[in-house]
Structure 1
Amino acid sequence: MGHPLPRQTSSADCGTEDTVALEGPTLRKPPARHDSPPGRLPSAAPPTDLLDGVARWRQADTAAGLFRLRPVRLEADLPLLHGWMNDAAVAAFWELAGPASRTEAHVAAQLEGDGRSVPCLGLLDGVPMSYWELYRADLDPLARYCRVLPHDTGVHLLIGGARDRGRGLGTTLLGAVARLVLEHRPRCARVLAEPDVHNHPSVAAFLAAGFRYCEEVALPAKRAALMVRDRAAP
């Protein structure tokens, strides 16, 4: 069951209230190992780490506490992730509600891939409270629908527990993660996100975290607001 290629809705050059911060993947199926955007030749032997060692990144000192990203350990973390994905507020955007096997397949596809997408837990003062996917946007199907620069890094996220929503954490952690990406990925000039244009609180959180609204893009599963955090942003 395929979708016709959507038409990009803007020709803009994008080179240059609190939130639950729920944003799922642009395309539900992760790209195959050598599924590169048009015009790019896949490497014969792609490296296993395309995101500069997320597991080794430092923790960030934020107004909410010490925050760090830790790559998912599927067997240990699956019960927690499965519970989050079956929260109604999360399921509305991630569409992974149902049996644990559905969440497992989604995460395992990234863990077993070539390293272009890294699923992580976000730990605040040592407590898992959010789920993140950092991905190479230039190697992702997103690059088929809008202009993406080499080494651009994309972000998907969700705040897991209801008690952590409505506290301003979305904006705080988005800013922290954007800074971590740019600090640890020197070749990356921009951090991207593509929240649904109708998810106004999420778009507002990205703007408050230093992202700028770039353009509206038609993707197979949604109309997205392409948000960009430039390296030069404060």
Structure 2
Amino acid sequence: MPPTDPGAGPAPVSARDGSGHATDGSTAVAEFGPGPAGALGTDVEDTLDLRLPDDFLAGLRGEPVASLPEEAAAPPVPGEAAGWRHAGPLAGRGDLLDRVESWGPTATSAGEFRLVPVQPERDLPLVVRWMNDPAVAAFWELAGPPQVAGEHVRAQLTGDGRSVPCLGLLDGSPMSYWEIYRADLDPLARHYPARPHDTGIHLLIGGAADRGRGLGSMLLRAVADLTLDSRPACARVIAEPDLCNIPSIAAFLTAGFRFSAEIGLPGKRAALMVRDRSLRHLL
């Protein structure tokens, strides 16, 4: 029986597009992110002609929309350096993910975890370093000079808001990279029976010191539950690991996801993994 967490077994595990692939070496890598066949597309021709929220469309047309109530400043996070706190809403973007920057922290067995949207001027050097780790580069294919990863991140930040790149902070220290995206508005929706507000997740655990500690399943569960808590309209969190990657699928199962179907994606067969709001307290 394979280990139930990508970081738990003797073989290193990596992933693309929400999946993991065994590689040679002695360090386990917990990564769940996009590759060449990624579900997260940035090409204008590779998007779905789906209806966007009326408020979002009104904003694009320059029409007045109902403003959100002003919120009090978030309290300081224990142990979190002020430089890693997100200063405010993501300017100029549609609110398709219920303001990831305001989701707040969640408690885990390893400490307090928080998603912080990437700020390129502050965070790209760290993301670039992670992407140039050989164990990561083979799967995300974003190694190289800073502009390679920079273009990938900025395409999301300057897009319509259907995907938000984030750092994952554990007790205030950045240790993972995430992409939270609207699976129902992504090219992935062409390959499975998408439902409105389905939310997808990609994960990369960055530092070698954080790999092999059993963090993969714990963080996947934490972020899936944080998504459901913060997005009332979202009934499902979606992932799509490679069907051949048993350790990655086991990690999702341990995190409370269920196997829904086998789906064909460009370049691979995938296991559609789903964490249901209705089953979250049972799995």
Q: Same fold (TM over 0.5)?
A: yes
* Count of paired positions: 216
Counterpart position of 1:4 = none
1:227 aligned counterpart, secondary structure: strand
Counterpart position of 1:94 = 140
Counterpart position of 1:6 = none
Specify every segment of 5 or more residues in structure 2 that has no aligned partner in the other structure, as ranges: 7-28, 61-92
> Which structure has the bigger radius of gyration?
2
Amino acid at match of 1:117: S
Specify which of 48, 55, 62 is matched with residue 36 of structure 1.
48
User: Is 1:165 equivalent to 2:177 in the alignment?
Assistant: no
Q: Which has the higher contact order (CA 8 A, sep 6+)?
A: 1
User: Is 1:24 equivalent to 2:33 in the alignment?
Assistant: yes
User: Is 1:153 equivalent to 2:199 in the alignment?
Assistant: yes
Q: In terms of mean alpha carbon deviation, does 118-127 or 26-35 score higher? A: 26-35
CA RMSD of aligned residues (A): 1.9
Per-residue CA deviations over 1:159-205 (Å, capped at 9, x if unaligned) read 00111111110111111101110001000000001122233322111
Determine the C-alpha separation between the residues in 2 that align with 1:89 and 1:198: 19
Determine the C-alpha separation between the residues in 1 that align with 2:218 and 2:47: 34
Change (3 A) 1:74 1:33: farther
Specify every segment of 5 or more residues in structure 1 that has no aligned partner in the other structure, as ranges: 1-16
Specify which of 124, 127, 131 is matched with residue 173 of structure 2.
127
Note the 1:190-229 alignment, pairs <5 A: 190-229=236-275
Note the 1:14-93 alignment, pairs <5 A: 17=3, 18-19=5-6, 20-25=29-34, 26-27=38-39, 29-32=41-44, 35-37=47-49, 40-41=50-51, 44-45=57-58, 48-93=94-139
Change (3 A) 1:128 1:78: same
1:188 aligned counterpart, secondary structure: coil
Per-residue CA deviations over 1:3-35 (Å, capped at 9, x if unaligned) read xxxxxxxxxxxxxx2213312222464253993
Change (3 A) 1:85 1:199: farther
Note the 1:175-190 alignment, pairs <5 A: 175-190=221-236
Determine the C-alpha separation between the residues in 2 that align with 1:167 and 1:230: 26
Q: Percent identity?
A: 62
TM-score, with structure 1 as normaliser: 0.86
8 Å CA contact 1:23–1:196 kept in 2: the answer is: no
Change (3 A) 1:61 1:42: closer
1:186 aligned counterpart, secondary structure: coil
TM-score, with structure 2 as normaliser: 0.72
How big is the shift at 1:51? 0.2
